[in-house]
Each structure stands twice: as structure tokens, then as C-alpha cells.
Amino acid sequence: MRLNQKVQRLWKQKIKAPLTLLIVTLDPVGDTPEILKKYGARFSLDEKSTFLVTGDPQKLSDFGSAFNVAGWPSGNTTVHNLKTILLGPNLEELKQYKENEWTPEQLIKDAETFLHR
């Protein structure tokens, strides 16, 4: 979440276009809407532009499969890999980032490149 928090801060400083963060959990049992709301508040994520979502386990599994993200139970939680996708204003995919192999600065630089084409 700290990465997302930093992306929001840098985006406001450097890019004037709107930013929406969609964060999807693959653990609907552990990550209830109430817990996600507290999590967003803990990291001071902008509620108007950040959506932390959960849903039906099968639909989440299907969603994850569409983006090659998988989760599996481990004790009281769900272990999962991670994917971050930069989308353009028309929801076109601009770039994918695997796991935590990106920095907020790199994402901002990539966004600037795509927005100034």
C-alpha cells in the first residue's frame, strides 16, 4: 500500500490527469469491505480515486486468471502473486508490471511518456 500511497502523491505533483487506483483482493474472507476501508484509511489513500474491492470467490478467481494472478489459501490468509497494470484514459492497457518490480517513480515516468504521445 505504501507504493500506492506514493504513486498518488507523485501523480498529483507531476501529472494533472485524473488517477484511479483499483486494488482487487483475492481473499474475500479475510479482506472484507470493512477491513479494506480501514486499510485504505491507514495508508491515507484518497477515497475518491482509490477503490479497494472484493467479491464473489469464483468471480475473483476468474478475474485473477484473466490477468495471470493467482491466490491460494495458507493458514488464515491467502497468498498471491501481484500484477500492476497502467491503463490509459480509455482503459487501454499501457504497461504491465510484475510483482513489486516497479517503483512509483518508474510508473509516473511511464505514464508521462504515454500521456505525452
Residues 6+ apart with CB under 8 A from 72: 78, 79, 80
Give the C-alpha separation, 86 to 67, whole Å.
13
Q: Give the CATH number for residue 14.
A: 3.40.30.10
What integer pLDDT is reported at residue 48 of this predicted model? 85
What integer pLDDT is reported at residue 106 of this predicted model? 94
Residues 6+ apart with CB under 8 A from 84: 96, 97, 102, 107
Q: Could you write out the DSSP letters of every residue in 87-110? A: E-TTS-EEEEEETT---HHHHHHH
What integer pLDDT is reported at residue 82 of this predicted model? 83
What integer pLDDT is reported at residue 36 of this predicted model? 93
Instruction: Give the pLDDT of the chain (117 residues) as one tens digit per residue.
Output: 788 889 888 988 988 788 888 889 888 888 899 999 999 999 888 888 889 999 998 998 898 898 888 888 888 888 888 888 888 888 888 899 988 889 999 999 999 998 887
| Greatest extent of the chain over all pairs of C-alpha atoms, in Å | 47
- Tell me which residue range forms the domain holding 48: 2-115
Number of domains in the chain: 1
What integer pLDDT is reported at residue 59 of this predicted model? 92
Inter-residue contact 91 to 100 (CB < 8 Å): no
Give the C-alpha separation, 116 to 30, whole Å.
40
Give the C-alpha separation, 107 to 20, whole Å.
14
Give the C-alpha separation, 83 to 98, whole Å.
5
What integer pLDDT is reported at residue 41 of this predicted model? 92
